[in-house]
Structure 1
């Protein structure tokens, strides 16, 4: 998360001190293990895998049902499964072209995954060079939150001061040789080499300017608390894994139950004979005798109720529905699906506000870069829209548009905005107008050809009549 510091205490931002860098890195490192745990849970490295038992002979199954990955993948697909749409009444094609060049759709997917897992995401905008042509362009990459942070001032505006990206450099033996530290402020990039992180000195390797006119690192928040989408459900995920693992342990213990024999004398070889012939003969005097297994009673119905309760709580806390539930059958309409996904839609409305704030900062940085090439873009009028990736019944929407348009209730521009795949309504209206004009010209051309044919036929008929009259006169 962003680290706040007093502007006067920060000193010269073009030449940061080792004390400043160490202080900020130590602040960032204090949250490292939380981020590490969230990453492990998404990867399936969950606490159940660390469970041990006192007896080595006791069953110790470790089942991981990765609800963390399910929650994140569902949120990512729901949020950015449809690409983010940018529309404006002004010409913004230069920014859209720059976004296309860096494959911004894939980048947004990666960014949303970081937001869903860590509750926070960082992207770095930097100058890159094409290997074939050597042409320089603005590129963008997501940076793991465990190795980068943003520093702001302590005012209510939290203005960005600088950002730091640090990463270890390993030798051929797999040990850390040194750390590479990159410092970004609003006009330059400083690269340092350090033997350690959080204490010690930093050796300046190079200093380069950048032309984004602001700190080229953007911090995105998943919510106000900067929490991941499954973070509050970790205890429920652990309980579910434990329950499923113990169910297997009980089954395994049931299969390997202890055989209890009462009232029998077993001699040498009787054990092998029992295993082979499945028969015991009582050689003692008549009396009570029995053979049974020592097991504990298993109430599967109670276990199933507990499992379903935990599963329901996981989906309730994360707002992500269970898509395998019978309520999500194949014949559910798109409108009915929205009501079933109401919780997820509310979650998206919160995530969307925080994401759009970062996307606007991204537009500012790209616009500042484009100004270098005299491509001025007015970003104030750009509208950013995130569309939930939901099954949509387009036929119903089109029918509603046609009925409303015929009734004259709403303008066509408003009605066309109902269609989910239309990003720029004005462009669609222009295309419709062009098609109408082309159709009119085609009709006029067709009518003109018919008129000429009709006129030529009349002339031919007149000539034929004149010729016949002359023939009659000669006769």
Structure 2
């Protein structure tokens, strides 16, 4: 995310930009429209669908709403991900003489890293459904097209970026387009701050059009670019000086994707990030750690309290000319209170004589020196912080790897239970992500059919995405399980190779190919391979037995009747 290209939007995520005036934990953070899904009646859209001017005017209204109401929420979440929490802008109302540290926790980044790595750390497999009625040649063609597409677009990394955006902001966008002067389809993630999709008002919520707008700051001048995607066309507009500037068409291109090539993925039905609903708890931890640091610093700079007199040379008052000041009698005027440097390693004290009257002989006050401090309840502070930490891990279904019970020697069953909550959440999110993947494949199918690469776009419906959670693995346990399966004698070689893939890192198909190549080399390099191999015409006759019909004296043992027993 290029924050520097849109600093105004970045600071719009703060109530009062560039000032420490955020009142933390004071109520609702975002407006009701901050996460609203854009919709409009399809019949109204069809009227302006092919009119770039009216379509641009409609898109501008949505852009204004997106920039003013939705972008602040998205960038607030992104700020927390990069460690720029609201604690940095907190109105603590502390005086200048007191410590005012601002410590931001990294919980947002930690949770997103764990969730994204767990879901997308292992590449998604696109497996063809063998139960389909499509010919093997068509199946191989489609698989080759998908593999080439994934390879050229670094699909594995693309999924990780999409997963990160989903975890942070609850939504992610990907754009499909054709590379210039080629027929190659490109796939790119688009920042949710710079894109949105408008749907119709039906139950199906079909995509009407998508908008991708972004800012480029060059030579201290803003250039806002806007592109609108419909199910048939791409409308490219000239850059404007602001996001809500009047759009003028620059280019109009047709595409063959058959639908809006901008696809929205959602993290859940609420379109919320993985830790968004725990922002208050994150702020509580930030405030607690910051206040503890402030208490420690205030303790180090505590006020020195002295009773008695200080045995130091008297310090005269000095005038503007640098000379000591004198009274009318010419006597040097000394300070009534000697200067005290609390940073000195030693301060000499002496008893003080205090008189209450003229005839009072006075009372001797023994000198003392001590710092004015307050008690720091470190145990209570630690208990409070630990409770907040535990609450975040529990409510976000993120395992606490610092937990003493989260040991590397824990059994597989114990680890499974610790990840059980995360797995439930992952199952729902994979279902939602599969919707986006299938839409991607349908767009590709439409384009490849228009290009003549495949016969029917519906072929992609036979592709099943398969997810493999990126869990800590124990090779010894895997091999023990595989050995037990082999010993049953009822498991195919293909299943065994699929089970050991996490250990070898080689897929079933690649392993089968290696085995075939290895057997072929053994046959080629075996000098006795052809010596002991009988040719069919030398060992068997046409009727399949091992006798030579040209020799009538040779008798087939199978034709001898057994002598009946007595």
In the superposition, the TM-score normalised over structure 2's length comes to: 0.72
Give the distance between the partners of 1:386 and 1:260, measured in 2 at CA.
67
Q: What's the CA shift string for 1:364-406, capped at 9, x where partnerless?
A: 1122222344221721221101111112223333332332343
- The aligned counterpart of 1:25 is 63
Cα distance change of structure 1 residues 206 and 436 upon mapping to structure 2, 3 Å threshold: closer
Which residue is equivalent to 1:45? 84
> For residue 114 of structure 2, what is the aligned residue in structure 1?
74
Deviates more, 1:119-128 or 1:188-197: 188-197
Among 141, 149, 160, the alignment partner of 2:207 is: 160
Alpha-carbon shift at residue 410 of structure 1 (Å): 4.7
Structure-1 separation of matches of 2:278 and 2:296: 28
* Number of the residue aligned with 1:340: 418
Q: Is residue 2:98 matched to residue 1:58?
A: yes
Greater relative CO, 1 or 2 (CA 8 Å, sep 6+): 1
Within the candidate set 435, 442, 446, 1:368 is matched to 446
The counterpart of 2:257, out of the listed 212, 217, 227, is 212
Q: Is the 2:310–2:348 contact (alpha carbons within 8 Å) kept by the matching residues of 1?
A: no
Counterparts of 2:301 and 2:508 in 1: how far apart (Å)? 73
1:35 CA displacement = 0.6
Q: Is the 8 A contact 1:163 1:217 kept in 2?
A: yes
Distance (Å, rounded) in 2 between the aligned partners of 1:435 and 1:167 = 52
Secondary structure of 1:383's partner?
Answer: strand
CA–CA distance in structure 2, aligned partners of residues 4 and 83 of structure 1? 34
- 1:262 is displaced (CA, Å) by 2.6
CA–CA distance in structure 2, aligned partners of residues 240 and 362 of structure 1: 41
1:248, distance to aligned residue in structure 2 (A):
0.9
Q: Does 1:122 align with 2:160?
A: no
Count matched residues.
446
Structure 1 or 2: more helix by fraction: 1
Report the counterpart of residue 298 of structure 2 in structure 1.
253
| Secondary structure of the corresponding residue to residue 380 of structure 1 | helix
Q: Residue 121 of structure 1 aligns to a residue in which SS?
A: strand
In the aligned structure 2, how far is the partner of 1:276 from the partner of 1:320?
Answer: 50
Relative to structure 2, which stretch is displaced further, 135-144 or 150-159? 135-144
- Listed as ranges, the matches of 1:189-208 within 5 Å are 189-193=234-238, 195=240, 201-208=246-253
**Does the C-alpha gap of structure 1 residues 199 and 245 become closer, same or farther in structure 2, counting only changes over 3 Å?**
closer
2:221 equivalent among 164, 175, 189: 175
Given that 2:352 and 2:366 are in contact with CA atoms closer than 8 Å, whether structure 1 keeps it comes out as: no
SS in 2 for 1:208: strand
Mapped partners of 1:32, 1:273: distance in 2:
52
- CA distance in structure 2 between the aligned counterparts of 1:425 and 1:74, rounded to whole angstroms: 25
Instruction: Indicate the residue corresponding to 1:101 in structure 2.
Output: 152
- After TM superposition, give the deviation of residue 222 of structure 1 in Å: 0.6
Q: Distance in 1 between matches of 2:483 and 2:525?
A: 25
TM-score by length of 1: 0.85
The answer to whether the 8 A contact 1:121-1:144 is kept is yes
Residue 358 of structure 1 corresponds to: 436
Asked if residue 446 in structure 1 is aligned to residue 543 in structure 2, the reply is no
**Which residue is 1:143 aligned to?**
190
Q: Specify whether residues 282 and 350 from structure 1 end up closer, same or farther in structure 2 by C-alpha distance, changes over 3 A only.
A: same
Deviation of 1:142 after TM superposition, in Å, equals: 0.9
The offset of 1:206, in angstroms, is 0.9
Q: 1:406 to 1:272 in 2, by over 3 A?
A: closer
Q: CA separation of 1:8/1:435 partners in 2, compared to 1, >3 Å: closer, same or farther?
A: same
Q: CA deviation at 1:32?
A: 1.5
Contact 2:498 2:508 in 1 (8 A): no
| Native 8 Å contact 1:180 1:193 kept in 2 | yes
**Could you report, residue by residue, the CA deviation over 1:238-279 in whole angstroms, capped at 9, with x for unpaired residues?**
111111111111011111111112344677365559835443
Gaps of 5+ in 1: 453-475
Note if contact 1:80-1:108 (Cα within 8 Å) is conserved in structure 2: yes
Contact kept in structure 2, 1:87 and 1:424, CA below 8 Å: no
Report the structure number with the largest CA radius of gyration.
2
Range that drifts further, 367-376 or 420-429:
420-429
Q: Within 1, Cα distance between the matches of 2:373 and 2:379?
A: 18
**Residue number in structure 1 paired with 2:540:** none
The equivalent residue for 1:111 is 162
Root-mean-square deviation (CA), in Å?
3.0
- Sort the Cα spacing of 1:191 and 1:280 in 2 relative to 1 into closer, same or farther, 3 A: same
1:281 to 2:350 alignment? yes
Q: CA deviation at 1:204?
A: 0.9
Which residue in the other structure is 2:461 paired with? 380
Number of the residue aligned with 2:382: 304
For 1:236 and 1:80, locate their aligned partners in 2 and report how far apart those are by CA, in whole Å.
Answer: 27
Quick check: 1:95–1:367 contact (8 Å CA) kept in 2? Answer: no
Could you tell me whether the CA contact under 8 Å between 2:267 and 2:432 is conserved in 1? yes
Partner of 1:328: 406
Unpaired segments ≥5 residues, structure 2 = 1-35, 131-138, 316-337, 354-362, 535-566
- How far is the alpha carbon of 1:209 from its aligned partner? 1.1
Does residue 14 (structure 1) correspond to residue 62 (structure 2)? The answer is no
2:3 matched residue in structure 1: none
Conserved 8 A contact 2:199-2:206: yes
